[in-house]
Amino acid sequence: MTGIVALYIFMLAAFTGYEIIARVPVILHTPLMSGSNFVHGIVLVGAMVALGEAHTPLEKSIGFIGVLLASGNAVGGYVVTERMLEMFKASGARAKKEVKEAP
């Protein structure tokens, strides 16, 4: 990847992130922060590569900690986001049910 292409990717991805968030309602701020926290768990693939190419014991130890932390980021981020968003769905369904039950 040449420098200028890398710069273009960086710029376009930055605009994309901004556009996605720009019109989000306050009620979703916490789940969305949690969701974006999950997305940067992609650092796991980098940590895997770093450990996979490590040679000395020092590199291996740091790489091991990196993979450990990164998988915590990815899995933990997924679990808490999913738990939160699942409740949002349930609350909508329950609200509808109650409207129907009302005389």
- For the CB of residue 86, give the shortest distance to other proteins in the complex, in Å: 6
- For the CB of residue 60, give the shortest distance to other proteins in the complex, in Å: 6
- For the CB of residue 61, give the shortest distance to other proteins in the complex, in Å: 9
> What is the DSSP annotation of 8-53?
HHHHHHHHHHHHHHHT--GGGHHHHHHHHHHHGGGHHHHHHHHHHT
Check the CA dihedral 84-86-90-93 and report its sign. positive
Tokens of residue 101, six digits: 């039950």
In this structure, the number of other CB atoms found within 10 A of the CB of residue 76 comes to 14
